Amino acid sequence: MVLEDKGDKGLYGHWNQLKQLKKKYPNLKVVISLGGWTWSKHFSDAALPANREAFVKSCVDAYIKGNVPDKNGKVVPGLAAGVFDGFDIDWEYPGSAGNDGNVVREEDTPNYTALLAEFRKQIDAVQPGLLLTIATPAASSKSEKIELEKVIPSLNWINLMTYDFTGPWSATTGHHATLIGGAKDRVSVDSTVDEYLSRGVPANKIVLGVPFYGYGWTVNSLDNNGLYQPAIAKAKGPLEAGSAPYSYLKTLPGTVHRDEKTRAVWKVNGKDVWVYDDVQLLKEKIAFVKKKKLGGIMAWELSQDSADAELVDTIYQGLIKK
């Protein structure tokens, strides 16, 4: 059922709906994510010394101070104040290639450190206690371009993107979010967390990322139950080839396999091989978070959960409910 958006003192749309949600749940914190895989092209430009202060100010003016246009296009000071409680900076990736066409410079590394310090400075000047977080890569070839020990003082926590280790772009099938690294896995959750810890990141500032989706390939050979086999095509998904939400994979016919060492799970449906996280694996990752005393779990993304929010409820039951 879609309800009419009646507005709140001139604020309409998604931002007003967030405002109403926060009125209903006063302890809810909402942060705006800047960047992402498809929106990081010009982060390198924004982080340059000549642009950094003005870029951050524009973000703070709009998202924190709430100086945004009304429905008539006139900027109204404070119209959206209080909707957002901070920023999540999702630059993919400083000093490393991401999506095709992204601007990459060697000086991205120190500029990223300075950019985060500028965000912290400006949001603290508006309201101490506002949140500043970052989304960071699992692969060491990319995380090594981030000065973790220098950015930590600016941040409330780090969201580890511990997924997409393999995917439809890979020539062979493989796990995309395996908990424990096996002989044929280049990246794993445990090795990524250990690396961040070894570089001085406090455990309680590490938030583990989990996927609410899976990746699939079509193969000729079902040797090793289809794992680490050459792919001949992307498996047919409900919306796009090679990708599917947990809600779809949960009910997809097929045989579920589990690796006793890596704890990874996958499903074979005919000649299609799908890798994903199920409830059992998610519980094991929750246990891992508790053992390592990490700051929590984040997920990409909510709409891919089952209709009864099975994965979200598993996280809630395992980490939050007393």
Rg (CA), the chain: 21
Q: Which tops the pLDDT comparison, 183 or 81?
A: 81
Structure tokens that stand for 147 in this block: 């000065």
Q: Where are the domains of the chain?
A: 13-212+279-320
pLDDT, tens digit, 9 for 90 and up, residues 8-49: 999 999 999 999 999 999 999 999 999 999 999 999 999 999
Q: Retrieve residue 306's tokens.
A: 């089952």
Share of the chain above pLDDT 70, in %: 99
pLDDT for res 21: 96
Look at strands 206-211 and 157-161 and give their pairing.
Answer: parallel
Structural contact between residues 17 and 23, judged by C-beta atoms closer than 8 angstroms: no
For residue 2, what are its two tokens?
Answer: 């879609």
At residue 185 the predicted structure's pLDDT band, cuts being 50, 70 and 90, is confident
Q: Tokens for 300?
A: 């990409």
The one-letter amino acid at 147: E
Strand partners of residue 208: 160, 297
User: If you average pLDDT over residues 308-314, what whole number do you get?
Assistant: 98
pLDDT band at residue 184 using 50, 70 and 90 as cut-offs: confident
Q: How far apart are CA 117 and CA 119, in angstroms?
A: 5
Catalytic residue among 92, 118, 149, 310: 92
Residue 113's CB is within 10 A of a number of other CB atoms, namely: 19
Helix segments in 1-86, DSSP class H: 13-24, 43-46, 52-59
Q: Which two tokens stand for residue 69?
A: 């246009």
- Residue 119 CA to residue 73 CA, distance in Å, equals 27
Residues in the chain, how many? 322
Residue 118 annotated as catalytic:
no
Q: How confident is the model at residue 183 (pLDDT cuts 50, 70, 90)?
A: confident
The pTM of the full predicted model, rounded to 2 decimals, is 0.95
- Say if residue 320 is exposed, middle or buried (CB neighbours under 10 Å; 0-12, 13-18, 19+): exposed
Query: Above 80 in pLDDT, residue 298?
Result: yes
Tokens coding 75: 């900027």
**Residue 4's pLDDT is what?**
80
Residue 238: predicted pLDDT: 96
pLDDT in tens, 92-121: 999 999 999 999 999 999 999 999 999 999
pLDDT per residue as tens digits for the range 62-71: 999 999 999 8
pLDDT score, position 2: 56
Question: H or E stretch including 258?
Answer: strand 255-258
Q: Which residues face 33 on adjacent strands? A: 88
- Of 163, 179, 157, residue with least CA distance to 300: 163
Does residue 216 have a pLDDT over 70? yes
Phi, psi of 38 (to 5 degrees): -95, 0
State the architecture of 13-212+279-320 in CATH terms: Alpha-Beta Barrel (3.20)
CB 162 within 8 A of CB 211: no
pLDDT at residue number 307: 96
Task: Please report which residue ranges of 134-272 form alpha helices under DSSP H.
Answer: 140-143, 148-151, 189-198, 246-251
The span from the CA of 234 to the CA of 223, in Å, is: 18
Q: Is the dihedral of CA 113, 158, 301, 64 positive or negative?
A: negative
Contact 146, 227 (CB under 8 A): no
Cis, peptide link before residue 93, omega less than 30° from 0 = yes
- pLDDT for 322 equals 66
Tokens of 138: 């699992």
Neighbours of 141 (CB within 10 A): 11
How large is the average pLDDT for residues 234-254?
Answer: 97
